[in-house]
Structures are given as structure tokens and as C-alpha cells.
Amino acid sequence: MNAENKIIINAFTDPLCTWCWGSEPIYRKLQSHFGDNIEFRPVMGGLVEDLANFRDVKNDIGGRSMADSNRDIANHWAEAAARHGMPVDSENFNLFDDEHRSTYPQNIAYKAVQLADPGKAEIFMYNLRVASAAQARLTNLESVLIEIADESGVDIPAFLRKLRDGTAEQAFRGDLALTRHLGVHGFPTCLIKFNNQQIMLRGYRDFDTFVSIIDSLSQGAIKPIAPAQTAEALLDFMANHPKMAIAEVREAFNFATLQDAENFVVPLIENGTLQKEIAGSSYFVVKPNLAGAGDLTTGDCG
């Protein structure tokens, strides 16, 4: 579809925001129902510049030692996961210490991939969220970021050039300036555009809210089409999303309950079409060649 006739969603985000992670099932549903009529454009918002100076009063995070802040964040993630259903390993979360106090490295790494190997940017962001939230990996370390890039099929030499020559950081600073210019203070925030019209949605929002906004902006021209609840439809969709949490399968394919989604994927796991990857509080379904690879109703981060 012509770019002028697409719904563009500028998603202001941070790889470490749990409600951005919790929004992934909604984004999968938007993608499965709107297809090429919709395009996501992530904007890196830089959630935590320095945890030593960070304070999220609403979620009682920050203002204490790094160890205490790690526990605060882990507790917040566990509470959020109970609501959004995405896998979270809150028990082993220990990301921040006195030398690593920022989420900026993850933001800059995403921009490096976007510049070096743009076709892999979406899967890198997803795998970065998986590594941070579901696997409790130390994603603020360059060595871990390189591993995730490699697991995502990114051109590593090109990625490292952009990461180290300053261009990725410069691109991130551009995203950060746009975030501040538009008054975005919490994540997720989505600026939804169609032609010359736009609407800002702040905080976690459900699918029906997005549909209503898209209907309004397009004056009814763009409508969701539900995918078939078939193995073929799921596998076709997974060509672009090779790892999906069961909560994402439920949303993307309109299952009434999580149990219905689980019943749907069990035969595919049993016959080896998909593999089950336990992670934190839930699990992913993954195509076998990727298995093992790191590949609040109004909640937000900020």
C-alpha cells in the first residue's frame, strides 16, 4: 500500500519499559488484522538516563541503592506481567549496578541496527525485549547486545561500526529530541497518523481503542480483518514474527481465553512444527531453527 494511504504508528518506546513489552500482544493483533495497511515506526525515548537520578513515584522506583532499585523494578514488572501476560523473569532481574545505570545503551543499539541492517530492526527490538524481560540478561553490556544482534541475524560488522562511530548515538539523540519536543513523558505512547491527520495515545491501550482511532482517522476506509484460526495462518504470520509469546498468539488470532490459545498450539508443538520455550512467568512458541535463541489498564513507564 502507498505510504500516504497507510496508518503510521510512531511508537515512542524504550526496550526496558514493561508496559511496552506488555503492548506487544496488541501490536501483534494490529499487524494480524490490518496487515500492510499499518506500519510501526519505533522512536527511542530513553526511559532511564541514570538510575541514580531516576524517580518513578507512581511505581515506587528509584531514589535508593542500585540493588534496591533492581528489586523495585522487578516487583513492578511482576505486577505488570500479572496483567499483560507477557513472560517476565522478575526473580533474576539484576540489570543495574554502579557502572551500568542507564537504558541508553539498549536504545542506541536499536538505532545501530536500524542504520546498519534495517530489515532486522524489528526482530532485534523484539529479541532485546525478550532478553531483558523474559531472560533477565544484562542487556546494558555491549557483549550481550552483540549476542542479541547475532541471534537476530544482524550484519555484525555493520552493526558495530554504527555502534562505535557515533552515528547510532546521534540518531538516538534525534529520537530523544523528538520525544521531548512532542511532550512524551511516559511509555508506551503512540502517535497515530493517516495522511495529514494525527492522534496521540498515551499509555497502554487495548486493541479496540486503536481500531476506533484508525476508523476515525481513515473515515472508515481502513477496517480490521480477522485472520483464520488455522495452523497455516499462524505459520504464515510467524514468517515475520518467528517467536511469539502465547499471550501474543491469543491476541493475534482472537482466542477467547489463554487456554484456547494453548490448546491451539499444543498439536503444533507435539508434531514438532513449533517448539515451546519456557521463559519467566510464561512461554514462547518458536520455529525449531530458532528455539533457544534469544532472538494496568492505563499502565506506562515513566
What SS3 state is found at 293?
coil
The total of other beta-carbon atoms located within 10 Å of residue 291's CB is 16
d(CA 286, CA 277) in angstroms, rounded, equals 7
Burial class from Cβ neighbours inside 10 Å (0-12, 13-18, 19+) for residue 277 reads buried
Indicate if the pLDDT at residue 2 is higher than 60.
no
Do 255 and 261 contact (CB within 8 A), yes or no? yes
Helix/strand/coil (H/E/C) assignment for every residue in 151-180: HCCCCHHHHHHHHHCCHHHHHHHHHHHHHH
**DSSP annotation string for 182-242:** TT--SBSEEEEEETTEEEEEES---HHHHHHHHHHHTTT-----PPP-SHHHHHHHTTT--
pLDDT in tens, 124-159: 999 999 999 999 999 999 999 999 999 999 999 999
Percent above pLDDT 90 for the chain: 89
d(CA 139, CA 146) in angstroms, rounded, equals 9
pLDDT in tens, 151-192: 999 999 999 999 999 999 999 999 999 999 999 999 999 999
**Can you give the pLDDT at residue 296?**
39
**Can you give the pLDDT at residue 143?**
98
pLDDT in tens, 201-233: 999 999 999 999 999 999 999 999 999 999 999
d(CA 203, CA 90) in angstroms, rounded, equals 22
How big is the CA angle at 259 (ends 253 and 265), to the nearest 5 degrees? 60
CA-based radius of gyration for the chain? 19
Strand-pairing partners, residue 284, are: 245, 277
Residue 297 pLDDT class (50, 70, 90 cuts) = very low
Indicate if the pLDDT at residue 294 is higher than 60.
no
Indicate if the pLDDT at residue 264 is higher than 50.
yes
**Can you give the pLDDT at residue 302?**
67
Each residue of 22-31: b (16+ CB within 10 Å) or e?
bbbbbbbbbb
pLDDT in tens, 91-126: 999 999 999 999 999 999 999 999 999 999 999 999
Strand-pairing partners, residue 278, are: 283
Whether the model clears a pTM of 0.85, i.e. scores above it, the answer is yes
Looking at residues 78-93, what average pLDDT do you find?
96
Dihedral (CA of 29, 32, 38, 44) sign: positive
**Can you give the pLDDT at residue 293?**
43
pLDDT in tens, 9-47: 999 999 999 999 999 999 999 999 999 999 999 999 999
Cell numbers 525515548: residue = 45
**Bridge-based pairing state of the strands 61-62 and 38-44:** unpaired
Percent above pLDDT 70 for the chain: 95
d(CA 246, CA 94) in angstroms, rounded, equals 25
Residue 3 pLDDT class (50, 70, 90 cuts) = low
**Can you give the pLDDT at residue 95?**
97
Indicate if the pLDDT at residue 298 is higher than 60.
no
